[in-house]
Amino acid sequence: MINFSFDGKAYTAQEGDTLAAALLRNGIGLVGRSFKYHRPRGIMTAGVEEPNALVTVGEGGRAEPNTRATDVFVYEGLVARSQNRWPNLNFDLGALFSLASPMLPAGFYYKTFFGSAKRWMLYEYFIRKAAGLGNAPTQGDPDRFSHRAAFCDVLVVGAGPAGLQAAVDAAEAGKRVILVEQDNILGASLIRDPQELNAVWISATAARIRAAGGRILTRTTASGYWEHDLVTLTQRLSEPGQIPVNGVAQRLWHVRAGQVILANGSIERPMAFAHNDRPGIMLSQALRSYVRRFGVVPGKRLVIATNNDDAYKTAQALKDAGAQIVAILDARPAPAGANSGHRVYNDAVPLSTKGARHCLKSVSALVDGKEMDWDADLLAVSGGFTPVVHLHMQAGGTLDWNEDAQAFIPASSRQNVTTIGGAAEPQPIFKMVPVSKPKKSFIDFQNDVTLADVDLAWAEGYRSVEHLKRYTTLGMATDQGKLSNMAALGRLAEKQGVAIPEAGLTTFRPPYTPVTMGLIAGAGAKDAGAHVRRLALYDLHAAKNPIWQPLGYWFRPRAYPNGDETLAQAALREAKAVRNNVGMTDVSTLAKFEVSGPDAAAFLEIICATTVGKLAVGRGRYTFMLREDGFVFDDGTVWRLDENRYLLTSSTGGADRMATHISYVRQYLCPHLRVSAVNVQEHYAGIAIAGPTAKAVLATLIGEEPPRHMSTVPAVIAGVPVIILAASYSGERAFEIYVTASDAATVWTACETQVMTVGGALYGLEAMEFLRIEKGHLVVGGEVDGRMTPYDLALDKMLNKAGGYIGASGLARPALSETGRRQLVGLEAIAGDIPEGSMLIPSEGASPQGHVSAAAFRIIEGGSVALGQLVDGFSRHGEVLIASSPTRGQKARVRVVAPHFYDTAGERYRD
Amino acid sequence: MMQFTCPHCGPRAQSEFIYERTVDSVVPLDAPSQEAMAKLFTRSNPRGVDDEIWRHTYGCRAWMILTRHRVTNEISGCRAIGPEALP
Amino acid sequence: MSRYSAFSLLRGALTGHRHWQPAWRDPEPKSHYDIIIIGGGGHGLATAYYLAKVHGLKNIAVLEKGWIGGGNTGRNTTIVRSNYRLEPLHNLFEFGLKLWHGLSDELNYNVMFSPRGAMFLGHSDADMVKLAERGDAMRCDGIDADLLTRDQVAKLEPLLDMSRDARFPIQGGLIQRRGGTARHDAVAWGYARGADSLGVDIIQKCEVTGFVRDGDAVVGVETTRGRIGAGRVGICVAGHSGHVAGLAGLKLPVESQTLQAMVTEGVKPMINSVIMSQSLHCYISQSDKGGVVFGGDPDNWPSYAQRGHPMVMEGAVAQGLALVPALSRLRMVRTWSGVTDMSFDGAPIIGETPVRNLFLNGGWCYGGFKATPASGWTYAHTLATGKPHDLNAPFSLDRFERGATIDETGSGPMPNSR
């Protein structure tokens, strides 16, 4: 005995029960309410196609709304609640929609609720509240979801008789086999028809598969068939709402299969007749499952409506279980079913049903042209069988029409997939046409789409199957048309006067059954799937508790506040230390490439838009790179370390794309060059020391005269070999020290000790930003925004006159040198602080002529300064504009000036 | 998710590779300006087979040319490029 | 055209809904039209509607290969907004947004445009500056945009993860309150019904297989339903622009890529606005039926396969769940993919081609749905007058060879880099 609850009431279930079986066992027929009209609904199927019996299972962040009661196995303590009803399931005020249903045909919402968009939103507020089914959790998920990859020779989907046989044959032939079954036990159709092959055969076959090395996954659904025979499997390790044993609720498998065998079977079709949606009306095979598999007989007086032989097995099962078979309505003419031993009516098509208090009371049918009715509390219907072709179609397969079964069956496929069993050879049926009134003849049960809605869509011109689907919402519910598509196609074909195959078919896209979002995300849900790149010197920074700044996947110290300093206070103190004395900072994330070989200079002159070849050994220079379209791509420095060996640095933010670009040029465009270009971004950590006393600090550290500005030397600090580049981003005399990342801590510590000895400071990105803005140095992602040319940035004088660099052709396009372009300018506040990102406007209400790309304060003198882009800015120095930020309610009057505010002559670099 | 046969590593999941550009978009270093811009800014973009440049970025990092059908994803060739593939 | 209203529904209720007429006719193609539009998606149908409505032209046909609205109009995430940084883009999309606000009444077809707010989240100070810059650019051009504080964001969307130690902590947002979502199919159907009632022939199952040339000019099209003459021909088949333009011997700055989206099972209201992010590549909204609609990056390689890559989807969902953890137990019920025209600066192309009388509307990347009214309006102007409207003049095809690209992300000419 297992205890569970439904809508707050305690019940018991038997081991192995689905929730649906347990509810029926407890005499509960009414389980849910439909989407649109809130009609009372019960349990219709015994599988994943269930449209009606949707409940919320579980509590808190583990609650799963819209869980099919037929697809959850009861566990101790399961808590289930009905949905989409108020105040309760039995008495649901939403059922008033049913009264208004004549006003609410398919697509009614397209024809009313006019007026302003705001007015629509008022109606919409109520529509949204009425729509939806269950409630989403409001908490995060306490459980985990995992992903796993697997490979096999043969993947078999479905463990019915055909699938089991295929799996055992392949496994015993030495193939690596994976067999998946969505149920929690093997056997599929064998479970409801045990007389054909017994449980012994199932377990013996499973044992043989395992003995031959095969893997069997139950409670696992093949939900998507992708390219090149990749199939995604969703495996439930715990039931919906259940606390997982090891914390993992579900697992997603990516299986690359050599061959896929689909043994998916088929889904029984309902029939369309009036009031065919009451609790107590079930699919015939489903009813048989409840009787045979679960030992539940959900009624006493049974009517069966069928167009095939299969339903007679259901009659036998119910008879064996002691129910009364009132009538079998067989759509086929006599003698079908004649010797079954039951009361059979041939040429009989159901018309309607009556009910009371959410139970079925009677069934009426047209028998040989005459209307008859029967009292019954259970109606089993079998309208034929729809092969499950979803995965075959997802794999890009085509379909054939099987006239005998009135069904589409798999034909060819461009992937290595075959379909076997019932899905390939569905049972023959008798083709029948609904005779009952189309209103209330439901075909999409969950979305309350009736034959009348199909007829209306047709009359209004929504005649392609896709229009029909979208206009009526048919097939858009959680069952994705598993029960409704064929009924709709049949009606459409009837209207068009064509055979069903000519009426068209909608596409089948993943997933086969709905997949939990947490499972799709896997472990990535916790961190947005984004990794963190850790600095080599991370631990040393972390010990100082800096303010961190994300930069791509990196986190870099933004400032190192003392005590309760704010970010701005700390940054200003740090920047002042650089201007007045010395500061040091971590520049490890800069892109770095070591380029070597006899053709290294030639290669660099392709990558860089400046000259490189004339550089003397031991010297470096500023450089920039263009994209193929001529816009500035990135900038950095290039250093000649040796005769045929260079170091190229570029921006942190552009590092990955620069690495790809350099690799592309080397591998694809210049395979003939004798050059090696190695990405050493993370091989070297970088430490910058800057300030008027930086030279003295470095001299102490390396025990020799530091290199002059834009020179490089190898040196040793604290016994560790380093490369010193004398380059300045801050505007002060400065050095960058590059050291193998694994030895970086030693060098950093030595440097820090020396910097602190002379009263210097560590500085972070914020201070660096102040320093570089004041100096007028560019930043990629700021001034260099991918839309600026070398002309716009006043870099054109540095262009390699000989050409030959990437981007030269793009740069020659006329619009790149026309007037009216935005050009780099400096901005000085006349009144107010300049808001970063603000727009430059000549007067209030005017359209922007540019914007502020970076703003800061003069470090020593104070006062707001900024860099920006301004239309024809070079010729507008002296002009006064407004830097306006309406979104922040800030503005400043600014004067356009040259884009550098500090040591214009560059004297502070020199010794 | 497709599966590519890297000329250096063998069959690998597509997620290890990054598509870079089509072969018809490659601008040779010595292309005259107008031709260069035509290459850069137009594509044949066929609803059929095309030659594409992919990189085994999360594997051996080598570059290769993949011949692929844009509708069916059938791959009819994959060849190495770069200095090692020079004749 | 019989007008739609609550009264017409009531009449239907009393008479068994027998009075409804087809929303559009199913005419046979005539031998000649003044203007032929290739492509019966939202943009093509809107173009036809405005040609008839604004320019008074009568002899117009829309040729559709399959069923109208069956391309990207029916395969998007239905988001409508005009919050672009660059002037030509936000001016064009804002013109469209204004049309969206009156569209249901204009068409007498409820397109369910719901201005519930389109919000970009910022996750760092740098993000917030970028958002302010975008918002300032919009505000200075008269377009609504408001910065939201962290608290305001939390109030608007209570299910967002506001924890400070999140991988991408939420610092604030930029909202365009007049942005929102619309019912995508209804846009195609509403424009179709409107255009049809003004005499436009909408011809479905009519694929263009070639162009009829007279010297350097196009004078008609070959179709699966025969040759049809035309004064002017407008291509409007985003996703397949390269293919159709190829029939006229043109090569375009366009690469076709797949963009996928997905929707969960319906749940009661939980997402109030359209949530996007400055740092993450996913966008989330909730449909009127209750499904949470999800989108992400395109599959970054050329494809006409109309099916997405599972790992791209997994990435988008991981990002979405990082923002809204309560989505974890919802179930994805349906996915779909569209083939998008990725242009080489991320902006659309609307204007003339080097072939006389042949015009092009395409290159919409993954942002075409929201532009439907503006695209139709400006393209109609261009087709009717032979000259661009002020709003689409910057979006000419020749801007690439001239170098006047409109690069919102500044990422250059490779479609897979943005």
- Closest alpha carbon to A72 in A16, A19, A12: A19
A129 close contact with C: CB closer than 8 A? yes
Residue type (1 letter), A619: R
Query: Nearest 10 degrees: CA dihedral of C402, C408, C409, C414?
Result: -40
Q: For A434-566, where are the alpha helices, taking DSSP H only?
A: 451-459, 465-472, 485-496, 500-503, 517-521, 538-542
For chain A, domains (ranges, CATH) are 2-130 (3.10.20.440), 143-268+385-430 (3.50.50.60), 270-383 (3.50.50.60), 437-502 (1.10.10.1100), 538-588+684-771 (3.30.1360.120), 593-679 (3.30.70.1400), 818-911 (2.40.30.110)
Q: How far is the CA of A219 from the CAs of A237, A245, A328, C46, in angstroms?
A: 8, 15, 35, 49
Radius of gyration of chain A (CA): 37
Q: How many other β-carbons are positioned within 10 Å of the β-carbon of residue A362?
A: 18
Taken in order A700, A704, A708, A714, is the CA torsion positive or negative? negative
How far apart, in whole angstroms, are the C-alpha atoms of residue C369 and residue C80? 7
Burial A606-623, CB ≥16 within 10 A → b, else e: bbbbbbbeebeebbbbeb
**Residue by residue, what is the 3-state secondary structure of A374-390?**
EECCEEEEECCEEECCH
Nearest CA in chain C to B22: C302
Q: Are A252 and A234 in contact (CB under 8 A)?
A: yes
| 378-417 of C, contacting A, C-beta below 8 A | 399, 401-405, 407, 409-413, 417
A480/C334 Cβ within 8 A: yes
Residue in the structure block whose two tokens are 């992937």: A415
Q: Which residues pair with A54 in a beta bridge?
A: A68
Interface test with C, best of B23, B25, B45, B51 (most C CBs within 10 A): B45
Q: Give 3-state DSSP helix, strand, coil % of chain B, rounded to 5.
A: 20, 40, 40
Q: How far is the CA of A656 from the CAs of A586, A593, B16, in angstroms?
A: 19, 11, 16
Q: Are A526 and A420 in contact (CB under 8 A)?
A: no
CATH 3.30.2270.10 fits B3-85, yes or no: yes
Collect all residues of chain A within an 8 Å Cβ-Cβ radius of residue B15. none
Q: For C160-235, where are the alpha helices, taking DSSP H only?
A: 184-197
pLDDT category, C417, cuts 50, 70, 90? low
pLDDT category, C57, cuts 50, 70, 90? very high
For chain C, domains (ranges, CATH) are 22-82+85-108+184-255+345-417 (3.50.50.60), 118-176+257-337 (3.30.9.10)
Q: How many angstroms away from the CA of C57 is the closest CA of chain B?
A: 34
Nearest CA in chain C to B36: C401
pLDDT category, C308, cuts 50, 70, 90? confident
Residue in the structure block whose two tokens are 């936000």: C90
> What is the mean predicted confidence (pLDDT) over C47-54?
98
Q: How many angstroms away from the CA of C43 is the closest CA of chain A?
A: 18
- Closest alpha carbon to A526 in C224, C123, C330, C322: C322
pLDDT at position C248 over 90: yes
User: Number of residue pairs across B and C with CB atoms under 8 Å?
Assistant: 69
Please classify residue B8 by burial: count the beta carbons closer than 10 Å to its beta carbon, then call 0-12 exposed, 13-18 middle and 19+ buried.
Answer: middle
Residue in the structure block whose two tokens are 């109208």: C68
Tokens linked to C237: 């088949």
Q: List all chains that touch chain C, counting a touch as 3 or more CB pairs closer than 8 Å.
A: A, B
Taken in order A460, C375, C343, C416, is the CA torsion positive or negative? negative
Residue type (1 letter), A802: A
pLDDT value for C2: 85
Q: How many angstroms away from the CA of C344 is the closest CA of chain A?
A: 10
pLDDT value for A197: 63
How far apart, in whole angstroms, are the C-alpha atoms of residue A540 and residue A685? 13
C251/B44 Cβ within 8 A: yes
Collect all residues of chain B within an 8 Å Cβ-Cβ radius of residue C252. 42-43, 45
Interface test with B, best of A605, A809, A811, A817 (most B CBs within 10 A): A809
Nearest CA in chain C to B19: C301
Reduced to 3 states (helix: H, G, I; strand: E, B; else coil), residue C376 is helix
Beta-sheet pairing, A324-330 with B49-55:
unpaired
Predicted confidence (pLDDT) per residue in C274-305, tens digit: 999 989 999 999 999 999 999 988 999 999 98
Taken in order A840, A841, A846, A849, is the CA torsion positive or negative? negative
Collect all residues of chain C within an 8 Å Cβ-Cβ radius of residue B54. 301
Nearest CA in chain B to C340: B45
pLDDT less than 70: residues of chain A: 195-197
Q: List all chains that touch chain A, counting a touch as 3 or more CB pairs closer than 8 Å.
A: B, C
Q: Are A636 and A648 in contact (CB under 8 A)?
A: yes
Domain positions in chain B are 3-85
Interface test with C, best of B42, B51, B66, B73 (most C CBs within 10 A): B42
Reduced to 3 states (helix: H, G, I; strand: E, B; else coil), residue A547 is strand
Burial A311-345, CB ≥16 within 10 A → b, else e: bbbbbbbbbeeebebbbbbbbbeeebbeebebebb
Nearest CA in chain C to B45: C255
How far apart, in whole angstroms, are the C-alpha atoms of residue C19 and residue C22? 10
> What is the mean predicted confidence (pLDDT) over C269-275?
97
Nearest CA in chain B to C253: B42
C109/A110 Cβ within 8 A: yes
pLDDT value for A101: 87
In degrees and rounded to multiples of 5, residue C274 shows phi and psi of: -100, 120
CB-closest option in C74, C145, C264 to A517: C264
pLDDT category, C416, cuts 50, 70, 90? confident
Tokens linked to C198: 């003004």
Q: Are A539 and C343 in contact (CB under 8 A)?
A: no
In degrees and rounded to multiples of 5, residue A102 shows phi and psi of: -60, -25
- Closest alpha carbon to A183 in A71, A43, A285: A71
Write the CB contacts of C143 (distance below 8 Å, at least 6 apart in sequence): C82, C83, C90, C94, C176
CB-closest option in B41, B45, B70 to C413: B41
How far apart, in whole angstroms, are the C-alpha atoms of residue C213 and residue A314? 68
pLDDT value for B86: 87
A510/C329 Cβ within 8 A: no
Interface test with B, best of A230, A252, A416, A667 (most B CBs within 10 A): A667
Q: How many other β-carbons are positioned within 10 Å of the β-carbon of residue C347?
A: 23
Taken in order A812, A814, A818, A824, is the CA torsion positive or negative? negative
B38 close contact with A: CB closer than 8 A? no
Reduced to 3 states (helix: H, G, I; strand: E, B; else coil), residue A597 is coil
Please classify residue C394 by burial: count the beta carbons closer than 10 Å to its beta carbon, then call 0-12 exposed, 13-18 middle and 19+ buried.
Answer: buried
C255/B45 Cβ within 8 A: yes
Least confident span in A227-241, A520-534, C210-224, C375-389: A520-534
Collect all residues of chain C within an 8 Å Cβ-Cβ radius of residue B70. 256, 302-305
Share of chain C above pLDDT 90, in %: 94
Residue type (1 letter), A14: Q
Reduced to 3 states (helix: H, G, I; strand: E, B; else coil), residue A508 is coil
CB-closest option in B2, B37, B82 to A809: B37
pLDDT value for A196: 60
Beta-sheet pairing, C292-302 with C283-286:
antiparallel
Nearest CA in chain B to C302: B70
As for the ipTM of the complex, it is: 0.98
Which helix H or strand E contains A267, and what residues bound it? strand A266-268
Collect all residues of chain C within an 8 Å Cβ-Cβ radius of residue A520. 313-314, 317-318, 332
Query: Nearest 10 degrees: CA dihedral of C307, C311, C317, C322?
Result: -160
Taken in order C73, C79, C81, C85, is the CA torsion positive or negative? negative
Please classify residue C81 by burial: count the beta carbons closer than 10 Å to its beta carbon, then call 0-12 exposed, 13-18 middle and 19+ buried.
Answer: buried
Residue A329, CA atoms < 13 Å, CB-side half-sphere: 30
How far apart, in whole angstroms, are the C-alpha atoms of residue C247 and residue C227? 14
